[in-house]
A and B are shown apart, each in its own frame.
Chain A
Amino acid sequence: MEFLKDIYGLIKERKKWWLMPVIIVLMLIAVLITLSGTSAIAPFIYTIF
């Protein structure tokens, strides 16, 4: 959490808001990689087709 706060502080300080979506996507990728090791996202495959 401290790390995320630091990054947010850096973005705010330097006004590099364009980095925000890149960081969000990197975090999303990290979450997906972590979850893919478990079965948590398996049930999402149920789609009416």
Chain B
Amino acid sequence: MSLIKNDKLKNLFVFLCGCVMAALMLEVFLSVYNPFGFRIKGNKVILYPYKRYVIQNKSIKGADSIIRRSNNSIGLRGMEPPKDLNLKDTLSIITVGGSTTECYYLSDGDTWPDMVYKFLSVSLKPLWLNNAGLDGQSTYGHLVMLEDYILKLKPKVVIFLIGINDVALGALNKSDKEIIRGNRGALKNIIDYCAVKSEICASIINMALHFKAKKFNAAHGALNLKLMPQRKVSSAKRGEILKEHEKYLPNYGKRLKKLIDLCRQNDMEPVFITQPSLYGKAIDPISGVDLGVLEIKNDFLNSRTENDILNSYNRITARMAEKNKVFLIDLADKMPKTSLFYYDPYHFNKKGAIKVAEIISGELCPFLADKFPGFVKSKCFK
């Protein structure tokens, strides 16, 4: 210390030592106990086996005030996997998707995958279904989830409800380069490395990503259609926005192809479901509000344009399904546009989850019965 003669320099050095000590303390604390429970660390998905959540909900109207949810021993929502874990003698299904699959604000038993299990298990036995949906996960995240977790489980069927987070992924990254693991650029690779090595870095990056998602209106939110300001967008402007976003679609298609190939190479049958939205060219029967002219505070300007963008992704999903002979459930087309089923533009409430499950199981049951006749115990109901 005596080597540093200048007092100011000495003080600065001591202050920096204090900062390092503080950072180390925070790092140790977050390594032992991270209260945020972030599920993303750099380029990896983190699951929390046996984690139980009791959520006191005050902000999301249309969801229960107390939400109780839990993860099983493999960190997914749903029943425990069979003991031998090879799932050979069981019709095993895993649902993969973003927040609309995870159903964060719905208690165990109320989510659409839970309901699909309930409906399907009448006709198909023995059936095992787990929910691997994670808030904010796009097809980029689904590929990571498949590689890191689902391939080890090898379920017979993987159901993907996809689209909405890819819309956000394209718009937020503003890059038409295909976003896949190992192809995110040098800077992102460094950031990913730091996030894997340090809890502080992972927390800061997750916070930044969260606020980015929030700015884009992708996260969960309360919906009050009557209080939302209106904004009309000319068809020329809408066409311009759609054209601008078109450049992200081919890479979305490529990621879908990768999902299909990865599933098929591992003897898992993929099923695609298109993402529905409350928004669009319709009048909400509950509030009487025009669902096509609501102002959206992101690049898409209003609800109709946002829905048109989502539909362009849904069309790619349908096209890829047709081209690769993947069973498709066009939920976007079949889900009624009514606020009775949603607590925000994309997330289903309890009634919505039941409706979604009715639509999905109604179409999925005959497909599964045909594909896996050995598990049929009674005729599928309509």
Is the pair A21, B22 in contact by a Cβ cutoff of 8 Å?
yes
Is the pair B25, A45 in contact by a Cβ cutoff of 8 Å?
no
Q: What is the distance, in angstroms, from B280's C-beta to the closest C-beta of chain A?
A: 22
Is the pair B14, A49 in contact by a Cβ cutoff of 8 Å?
no
Is the pair B14, A46 in contact by a Cβ cutoff of 8 Å?
no
B282: CB under 8 A from chain A? no
A29: CB under 8 A from chain B? yes
**From DSSP, what is the main secondary structure of chain A's interface residues?**
helix
Partner of B57, one of A17, A25, A36, A39: A39
- Chain A residues with CB under 8 A of B85: none
- Chain B residues with CB under 8 A of A15: 11
Among A3-35, those with CB < 8 Å from B are: 15, 17-22, 24-26, 28-29, 32-33, 35
B313: CB under 8 A from chain A? no
Among B92-131, those with CB < 8 Å from A are: 99, 104
**CA A48 to CA B167, docked complex, whole Å:** 10
Q: What is the distance, in angstroms, from B13's C-beta to the closest C-beta of chain A?
A: 9
Is the pair A46, B218 in contact by a Cβ cutoff of 8 Å?
yes
Is the pair B219, A18 in contact by a Cβ cutoff of 8 Å?
no
User: Number of A residues contacting the other chain (C-beta, 8 Å)?
Assistant: 27
Is the pair B22, A25 in contact by a Cβ cutoff of 8 Å?
yes
In this complex, which of A21, A24, A47 has the most chain B Cβ atoms within 10 angstroms of its Cβ? Answer: A47
**CA A49 to CA B208, docked complex, whole Å:** 12
Is the pair A47, B136 in contact by a Cβ cutoff of 8 Å?
yes
Is the pair A24, B22 in contact by a Cβ cutoff of 8 Å?
yes
Is the pair A45, B209 in contact by a Cβ cutoff of 8 Å?
no
Is the pair A22, B22 in contact by a Cβ cutoff of 8 Å?
yes
Partner of B220, one of A17, A24, A32, A43: A43
**CA A29 to CA B32, docked complex, whole Å:** 12
Q: What is the distance, in angstroms, from B173's C-beta to the closest C-beta of chain A?
A: 9
Is the pair B14, A25 in contact by a Cβ cutoff of 8 Å?
no
Partner of B135, one of A17, A28, A35, A47: A47
Interface stretch among B33-41, B260-268, B323-331? B33-41
**CA A29 to CA B57, docked complex, whole Å:** 24
Instruction: Report the 7 A-B pairs with minimum CB-CB distance, sorted nearest first.
Output: A18-B18, A36-B35, A21-B22, A47-B209, A25-B22, A46-B219, A49-B141
Which A residues have a C-beta under 8 Å from some C-beta of B?
A: 15, 17-22, 24-26, 28-29, 32-33, 35-36, 38-39, 41-49
Which B residues have a C-beta under 8 Å from some C-beta of A?
A: 11, 14-15, 17-19, 21-23, 25-26, 29, 33, 35-40, 45, 53-57, 59, 99, 104, 134-138, 140-141, 144, 165, 168-169, 172, 206-207, 209-210, 212-214, 216, 218-220
